[in-house]
């Protein structure tokens, strides 16, 4: 029994499933999750002292790599001044200005403490602003676990085979309409049915909670046009893609302007942070200027703001996103080449610093139905062999992979050499 096995058994006695967020439990791949002791650069180290090249990056925020000195120093400096005040600080103003500078569609922004809070608040604001109850989301997209958003959701909900959850009254869920990702006709049909009832469309601009599905050409622009036609707001959920797909998020990469944007993970540099923002006239609808209530005791926490600002400043340096994209392309193409060499069919997707690979015969994967047909048993086998080789991938076939700037040639080559050995084994089996 490993130390991780022991800790998992111990954890299950006091924590439901032994984890504080379901996907960590390895439900999608079986076995015990690795309990992590520390992380540095491209590596994480488990409770048994084993070192792994990490492609999870705390589910996205670690773009500079783990425990980056610039972030660590910013946090330590902030700690000296106290941990939380529950009163405004200059740091929050600097953060708001930085976010707005990087994502021009955000004219005003409010900080929260998680991605879930960001999307939940943005939806409430869209409903309040438009005075309409219904929202439209896409099957397989995950926007956190607020009641109205946990309908046909991706991520852990998908891994566990629970696209919806008990505990959400039918009266709430009925206001959530779901369309098919990358299928504008499915969206049009819903709007034709409810032309004056839909407050907003919320979308992952690159879907990262059903593996990694980029939008097909014109899809995001088509949604923008539909929102304009029917007077609905467009919310782009950049909790995963913000400052990962490009400096101005996926919206900058694909050239589409939403009314509201939600952010998370990355702007905290690893601390619990989220944010929502957008058009000033809409944001003015939030309390205390407007009637839509939203609040948070620890919102804009000074330690979290310091960590996030340090990360965002580093991300504004020349060439960062070119580097991140090149590394991501290299690893994704490398996985595919290694799989194909051993006769294992694989499709890949990648954008900016995120990637996904699919065990499927299909050439390209662009929608949820295709994702759910992939070979998850083969993924689980592949997953554990890679783990044995010292490569830590997301423990589910439905999650995107993430690169960091700390992944150098050595780590990328070691990963691909491991993949080559693993595919050779799988081909023989
Ligand atoms: N939106 C998206 C696109 C996400 O990927 C996530 C989390 N992975 C969330 C919202 C929810 O964020 P959090 O887990 O911080 O509540």
Residue 142 known to be catalytic:
yes
CA-272 nearest atom, ligand 1: 15
- Residue bearing the CA closest to ligand 1, atom 13: 115
Coil, helix or strand at residue 398:
coil
Query: Does the beta carbon of 211 sit less than 6 angstroms from any atom of ligand 1?
Result: no
The CB of 264 under 6 Å from ligand 1? The reply is yes
pTM surpassing 0.90? yes
pLDDT at residue 424, as a whole number: 97
Q: Is any atom of ligand 1 closer than 6 Å to the C-beta of 240?
A: yes
Q: What is the DSSP letter of 109?
A: E
Compute, in angstroms, the gap from residue 115 CA to the centroid of ligand 1.
Answer: 5
Residue 144 in contact with ligand 1 by CB distance below 6 A? yes
User: Can you state the angle between helices 376-388 and 409-428, rounded to 10 degrees?
Assistant: 130
CA of 409 to the centre of ligand 1 (A): 30
Q: What is the pLDDT of residue 154?
A: 74
**What pLDDT is stored for residue 264 in this prediction?**
96
Concerning whether 265 is annotated as a catalytic residue, the answer is: yes
What does the pLDDT look like over 141-151, one tens digit per residue? Answer: 999 999 888 88
Residue closest via CA to ligand 1's atom 7 equals 144
Structural domains of the chain sorted by starting position, each given as residue range(s) with its CATH number in brackets = 3-67+318-428 (3.90.1150.10), 69-315 (3.40.640.10)
| Helices and strands counted in the chain (H then E) | 15, 14
Q: Output the pLDDT for position 160.
A: 61
Helix (H, G, I), strand (E, B) or coil at 161: coil
The parts of the chain modelled with pLDDT lower than 50 are: none
Is the C-beta atom of 116 inside 6 A of ligand 1? yes
Do 223 and 203 contact (CB within 8 A), yes or no?
Answer: yes
Distance 227 CA to ligand 1 centre (A): 23
Catalytic residue among 134, 265, 327, 336: 265
Each residue of 238-276: pLDDT tens digit?
999 999 999 999 999 999 999 999 999 899 999 999 999
Exactly one of 46, 54, 237, 259 is catalytic; name it: 237
Nearest CA to ligand 1 atom 12: 115
46 an active-site residue?
A: no
Burial of 269 from C-beta contacts in 10 A (0-12 / 13-18 / 19+) = buried
The Cα–Cα gap between 264 and 250 comes to 14
Cβ of 4 below 6 Å from ligand 1: no
Q: How far is the CA of 341 from the centre of ligand 1 (A)?
A: 35
The pLDDT assigned to 170 comes to: 83
Q: Using the mean position of ligand 1's atoms as its centre, give its distance from the Cα of residue 344 in Å.
A: 32
Pocket flag, ligand 1, residue 142 (CB < 6 Å): yes
């Amino acid at each position: 029994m490993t130390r991780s096995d022991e800790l998992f058994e111990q954890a299950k006695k006091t924590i439901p499933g032994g984890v504080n967020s379901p996907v960590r439990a390895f439900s999608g791949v079986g076995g015990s999750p690795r309990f992590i002791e520390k992380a540095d650069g491209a590596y994480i180290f488990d409770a048994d002292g084993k070192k792994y090249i990490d492609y999870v990056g705390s589910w996205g925020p670690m773009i500079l790599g783990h425990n980056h000195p610039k972030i660590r120093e910013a946090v330590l400096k902030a700690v000296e001044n106290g941990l939380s005040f529950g009163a405004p600080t200059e740091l929050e103003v600097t953060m708001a200005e930085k976010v707005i500078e990087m994502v021009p569609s955000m004219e005003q922004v409010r900080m929260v403490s998680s991605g879930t809070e960001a999307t939940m608040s943005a939806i409430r604001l869209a409903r309040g602003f438009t005075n309409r109850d219904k929202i439209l989301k896409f099957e397989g997209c995950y926007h956190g676990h607020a009641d109205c958003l946990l309908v046909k959701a991706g991520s852990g909900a998908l891994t566990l085979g629970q696209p919806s959850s008990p505990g959400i009254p039918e009266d709430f869920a009925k206001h959530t309409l779901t369309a098919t990702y990358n299928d504008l006709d499915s969206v049009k049909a819903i709007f034709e049915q409810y032309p004056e009832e839909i407050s907003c469309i919320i979308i992952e601009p690159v879907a990262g909670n059903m593996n990694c599905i980029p939008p097909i050409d014109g899809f995001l622009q088509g949604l923008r046009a539909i929102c304009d036609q029917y007077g609905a707001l467009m919310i782009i959920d950049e909790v995963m893609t913000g400052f990962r797909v490009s400096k101005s998020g996926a919206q900058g990469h694909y050239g589409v302007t939403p009314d509201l944007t939600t952010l998370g993970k990355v702007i905290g540099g690893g601390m619990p942070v989220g944010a929502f923002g957008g058009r000033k006239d809409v944001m003015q609808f939030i309390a205390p200027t407007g009637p839509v209530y939203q609040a948070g005791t620890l919102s804009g926490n000074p330690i979290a703001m310091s960590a996030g600002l340090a990360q965002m400043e580093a991300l504004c340096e020349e060439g960062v996103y070119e580097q991140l994209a090149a590394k991501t392309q290299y690893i994704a193409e490398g996985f595919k080449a290694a799989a194909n060499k051993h006769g294992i069919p694989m499709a890949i997707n990648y954008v900016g610093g995120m990637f996904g690979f699919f065990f499927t015969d299909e050439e390209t994967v662009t929608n949820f139905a295709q994702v759910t047909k992939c070979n998850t048993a083969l993924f689980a086998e592949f997953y554990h062999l890679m783990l044995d080789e010292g490569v830590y991938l997301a423990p589910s076939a439905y999650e995107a992979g993430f690169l960091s700037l700390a992944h150098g040639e050595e780590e990328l080559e070691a990963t691909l050499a491991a993949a080559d050995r693993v595919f050779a084994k799988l081909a023989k089996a």
